[in-house]
C-alpha cells in the first residue's frame, strides 16, 4: 500500500525460515559478487521509486544470471515466490515490472562510468599491465535497425550486426567493452577508443622517473590477433604513448632452421610446459621487432612479434597463446549468459559525418566477382573442349564445335556484363558519408546503454563465478575442467534459509551434493566464506554458511 501511494523509500527485506529453497546455493556466491564490485553501482545510480528498489533489481539480475535464467522472459518459468526467498522478498518482480525497472536504470546513462570505475579497480587489484583485445559480433536478424555487415567467424558469413570490442586479462577475465558505431576495424578502435580509455585512469600509472632511467620500459602491452597487424601502427603506438604490442606475424614465408630452436620450460597455471622456441631480431617496414617462433611436433613454426624488450622469450610465447582464453570467454558467455541478448531494440541515429564503404559500390563489386567466377569456369570448360577435340574421333568434331560456340556466346555475354558493371562502379565513390546515403540504406545503431549495463552485470557474475570456482576446486586434480561444473551444481542445489534476528545472522544450509568429494569441497568453502563475515545487502544480518548434513 505504501508503494502504491509513493510513500515507500526502500523495499522491506524480511527473511523467514525456509526449507529446501530452489537455487539456494547461489547465496554461496554472494560474497564473491560483493568482492568483485557488484555494490559499486551505488556510486553511479540513484534510487528507484516503487516497491522494488535499485538494490533489489541489481541483486535479482545477478542471481538470475548465475542461475542461468538468462533474460527477464525466462522468469515466467520459475516460481517467483520461491526465488524471492533468496532475496528476503515475498516474490521477485514479474517480467513487465522487471523490464520497466531496467529501463529506469539505463535511462540514467551511467553504465560507461560504472564500467570505467570497475575496470580501474580490477586492473589495480590484479596489478596487471597486459590487455587482450578482441572483437565479438552480435548478429542482428531484426527489421527495425539497418546495421552494417560484419564477418562472423563462427558462422563464416557476412551478416548484419554490431561489434563489441572486449578488453580482458591473460586469464580471460573481462575489464571493459566498447561497441563500434558502424564497421570500425580493430586497429581504428584501438587508436580512437581503447587506448584513450586505458590511459584515462584504467591502466596502471607508470613512474616518469622509471621511463627516464629505462627507455625500454612500456606503459603497458596490448595483445591481439592478426586483424590489427601493421608494423607502422605498432611503431606509432610506442613512439606516442610507449605502448608495446604482442601479436602474430602475417605473411611468414621463410622457415628457420630447426637447429635454431631450443627447449624452454615455461610456467602455465603452475604447470611446467615444454616448448621449442627460438628468437631473432627482425626489421619490418623499417621498424625493429623481436620475433619469437614456436616449433611444433609437425615442424610447423608459429611466428610472434613484439616490441616489448623487457619480457623473456618464454613469457612472450605464453602471453600470446593465452589469447585463446578470450575466445573461450566469448564461447562460455554466449552459452551460459546469453551474451548476444539485447534488452531493448531501440534504434538510435549515428553521426551523419561518419564515412563508410558505399553499400552500392560493395553490391556491384560482389556481382562483378560472381560474373568473373562464371567467366573463369566457362573458359576452363572451353579449354577442356578444345583439348578433347584434338585427341577425339573426327566424327565428334562437329558436336564439339557446337558446344564451343555455345560457351563462347556465354563468355561474350558475361564479358559484356562485366564491362557494364565496371563502368557503373566507376560512377560510384568507394567511401560515402552517412548523410549522403539513401534513406532506406542509411545506417543506424541499436541502443548501446542497455546492452552495456547488462554486460557489466554479466562481467561481475563471470568474475565472481570464476573466483568462487577456483577456491571451490582447489584440491581437484582436473581443476580447469571441473571447477565450473562443480560451481553450477552447487548453485542448483537446494538450501535451507534460517534467519536469527537475535544474533543478527542468516544461516544458509546447503543440501548434500552428488558425492563425498564435492561435499568436502563445499565444507572447506563454508569455512572461507564464514571468515569473510559478509552482511546481506540492505540488512544487518551476517551470512553464515554450513552443510545441512
Exposed/middle/buried for residue 130 (C-beta within 10 Å: 0-12, 13-18, 19+): buried
Residue 7: CB atoms within 10 Å: 8
In this predicted model, which residue has the larger pLDDT, 208 or 496? 496
**264, containing H or E segment:** strand 262-268
Identify the pLDDT of residue 334.
Answer: 93
Identify the pLDDT of residue 222.
Answer: 97
Take residue 381 and report the three cell numbers written for it: 570448360
**Average model confidence (pLDDT) for the chain?**
90
> Is the pLDDT score of 391 beyond 70?
no
Q: How confident is the model at residue 224 (pLDDT cuts 50, 70, 90)?
A: very high
Question: How far is residue 422's CA from residue 510's CA, in Å, rounded to a whole number?
Answer: 71
Average pLDDT over residues 457-469: 95
Take residue 220 and report the three cell numbers written for it: 603497458
Average pLDDT over residues 68-81: 93
Question: How far is residue 99's CA from residue 75's CA, in Å, rounded to a whole number?
Answer: 11
Identify the pLDDT of residue 466.
Answer: 94
In this structure, what DSSP letter does residue 548 have? Answer: -
> Is the pLDDT score of 390 beyond 70?
no
Identify the pLDDT of residue 478.
Answer: 66
Question: How far is residue 106's CA from residue 52's CA, in Å, rounded to a whole number?
Answer: 16
Exposed/middle/buried for residue 501 (C-beta within 10 Å: 0-12, 13-18, 19+): exposed
**Kindly report the CA angle at 511 between 508 and 514, in degrees rounded to 5?**
140
Identify the pLDDT of residue 459.
Answer: 97
In the sheet that holds 505-510, the strands lie side by side as 18-21, 495-500, 505-510, 542-547
Take residue 299 and report the three cell numbers written for it: 615442424
- In tens, the pLDDT along 372-387 reads 999 999 999 888 887 7
How many percent of the chain have pLDDT more than 70?
97
Question: How far is residue 337's CA from residue 61's CA, in Å, rounded to a whole number?
Answer: 11
In this predicted model, which residue has the larger pLDDT, 223 or 253? 223
Take residue 364 and report the three cell numbers written for it: 556491384
Predicted structure pTM score: 0.88
Q: How confident is the model at residue 159 (pLDDT cuts 50, 70, 90)?
A: confident
Residue 529: CB atoms within 10 Å: 23
In this structure, what DSSP letter does residue 73 have? Answer: G
Residue 301 phi/psi, 5-degree rounding, is -110, 115
Closest by CA to 248, choosing from 228, 277, 262, 273, is: 228
Q: How confident is the model at residue 481 (pLDDT cuts 50, 70, 90)?
A: low
Strand, coil or helix: 7:
coil
Strand, coil or helix: 337:
coil
**Kindly report the CA angle at 264 between 258 and 267, in degrees rounded to 5?**
145
- Contact in structure between 340 and 139 (CB atoms under 8 Å): yes
Identify the pLDDT of residue 395.
Answer: 63
Which residue, chain included where needed, has cell 635454431? 260
Question: How far is residue 380's CA from residue 486's CA, in Å, rounded to a whole number?
Answer: 59
Residue 105 phi/psi, 5-degree rounding, is -70, -50
Which ranges of 181-323 would DSSP assign to H, the alpha helix? 186-189, 195-199, 208-213, 231-241, 313-321
SS3 content of the chain, % helix, strand, coil (to 5): 45, 20, 35
Average pLDDT over residues 179-199: 91
Listed as own residue / partner, the contacts of 487-490 with beta carbons closer than 8 Å and 24 or more positions apart are 487/29, 488/68, 489/513, 489/514, 489/518, 490/25, 490/28, 490/518, 490/522
> Is the pLDDT score of 345 beyond 90?
no
- In tens, the pLDDT along 254-302 reads 999 999 999 988 877 667 788 999 999 999 999 999 999 999 989 999 9
Identify the pLDDT of residue 112.
Answer: 94
> Is the pLDDT score of 177 beyond 90?
yes
- In tens, the pLDDT along 78-129 reads 999 999 999 999 999 999 999 999 999 999 999 999 999 999 999 999 999 9
Handedness of CA 240, 242, 245, 249 (dihedral sign): positive
> Is the pLDDT score of 396 beyond 70?
no
Amino acid at each position: 500500500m505504501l508503494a502504491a501511494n509513493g510513500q515507500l523509500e526502500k523495499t522491506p527485506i524480511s527473511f523467514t525460515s525456509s526449507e529446501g529453497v530452489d537455487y539456494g546455493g547461489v547465496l554461496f556466491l554472494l560474497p564473491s559478487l560483493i568482492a568483485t564490485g557488484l555494490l559499486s553501482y551505488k556510486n553511479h545510480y540513484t534510487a528507484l521509486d516503487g516497491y522494488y528498489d535499485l538494490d533489489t533489481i541489481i541483486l535479482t539480475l545477478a542471481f538470475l544470471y548465475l542461475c542461468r535464467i538468462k533474460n527477464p522472459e525466462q522468469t515466467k518459468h520459475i516460481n517467483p515466490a520461491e526465488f524471492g526467498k533468496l532475496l528476503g522478498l515475498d516474490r521477485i518482480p514479474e517480467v513487465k515490472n522487471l523490464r520497466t525497472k531496467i529501463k529506469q536504470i539505463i535511462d540514467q546513462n551511467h553504465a560507461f562510468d560504472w564500467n570505467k570505475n570497475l575496470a580501474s579497480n580490477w586492473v589495480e587489484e590484479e596489478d596487471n599491465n597486459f590487455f587482450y583485445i578482441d572483437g565479438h559480433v552480435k548478429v542482428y536478424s531484426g527489421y527495425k535497425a539497418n546495421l552494417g555487415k560484419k564477418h562472423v567467424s563462427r558462422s563464416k558469413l557476412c551478416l548484419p550486426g554490431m561489434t563489441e570490442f572486449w578488453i580482458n586479462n591473460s586469464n580471460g577475465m573481462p575489464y571493459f567493452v566498447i561497441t563500434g558505431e558502424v564497421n570500425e576495424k580493430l586497429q581504428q578502435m584501438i587508436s580512437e577508443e581503447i587506448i584513450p580509455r586505458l590511459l584515462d585512469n584504467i591502466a596502471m600509472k607508470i613512474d616518469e622517473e622509471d621511463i627516464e632511467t629505462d627507455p625500454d620500459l612500456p606503459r603497458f602491452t596490448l595483445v591481439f590477433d592478426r586483424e590489427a597487424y601493421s608494423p607502422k601502427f605498432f611503431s606509432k603506438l610506442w613512439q606516442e604513448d610507449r605502448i608495446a604490442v604482442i601479436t602474430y606475424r602475417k605473411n611468414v614465408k621463410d622457415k628457420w632452421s630447426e637447429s635454431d630452436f631450443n627447449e624452454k620450460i615455461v610456467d602455465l597455471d603452475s604447470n611446467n610446459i615444454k616448448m621449442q622456441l627460438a628468437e631473432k631480431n627482425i626489421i619490418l617496414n623499417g621498424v625493429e621487432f623481436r620475433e619469437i617462433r614456436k616449433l611444433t611436433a609437425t615442424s610447423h613454426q608459429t611466428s610472434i612479434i613484439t616490441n616489448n624488450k623487457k619480457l623473456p622469450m618464454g613469457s612472450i610465447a605464453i602471453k600470446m597463446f593465452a589469447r585463446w582464453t578470450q575466445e573461450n570467454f566469448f564461447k562460455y558467455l554466449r552459452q551460459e549468459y546469453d551474451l548476444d541478448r539485447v534488452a531493448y531494440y531501440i534504434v538510435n541515429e549515428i553521426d551523419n559525418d561518419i564515412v563508410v564503404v558505399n553499400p552500392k559500390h560493395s553490391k556491384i563489386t560482389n556481382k562483378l566477382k560472381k560474373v568473373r567466377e562464371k567467366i573463369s569456369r566457362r573458359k576452363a570448360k572451353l579449354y577442356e573442349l578444345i583439348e578433347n577435340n584434338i585427341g577425339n574421333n573426327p566424327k565428334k568434331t562437329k558436336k564439339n564445335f557446337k558446344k564451343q560456340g555455345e560457351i563462347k556466346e556465354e563468355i561474350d555475354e558475361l564479358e559484356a556484363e562485366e564491362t557494364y558493371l565496371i563502368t557503373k562502379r566507376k560512377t560510384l565513390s568507394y567511401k560515402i558519408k552517412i548523410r549522403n546515403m539513401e534513406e532506406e540504406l542509411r545506417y543506424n545503431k541499436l541502443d548501446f546503454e542497455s546492452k552495456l549495463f547488462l554486460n557489466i552485470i554479466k562481467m561481475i557474475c563471470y568474475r565472481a563465478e570464476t573466483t568462487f570456482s577456483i577456491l571451490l576446486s582447489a584440491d581437484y586434480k582436473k581443476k580447469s575442467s571441473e571447477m565450473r561444473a562443480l560451481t553450477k551444481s552447487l548453485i542448483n542445489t537446494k538450501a535451507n534459509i534460517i534467519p536469527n534476528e537475535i544474533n543478527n545472522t542468516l544461516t544458509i544450509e546447503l543440501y548434500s551434493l552428488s558425492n563425498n568429494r564435492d561435499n568436502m569441497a563445499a565444507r572447506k568453502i563454508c569455512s572461507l566464506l564464514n571468515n569473510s563475515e559478509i552482511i546481506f545487502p540492505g540488512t544487518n544480518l551476517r551470512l553464515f554458511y554450513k552443510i545441512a548434513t
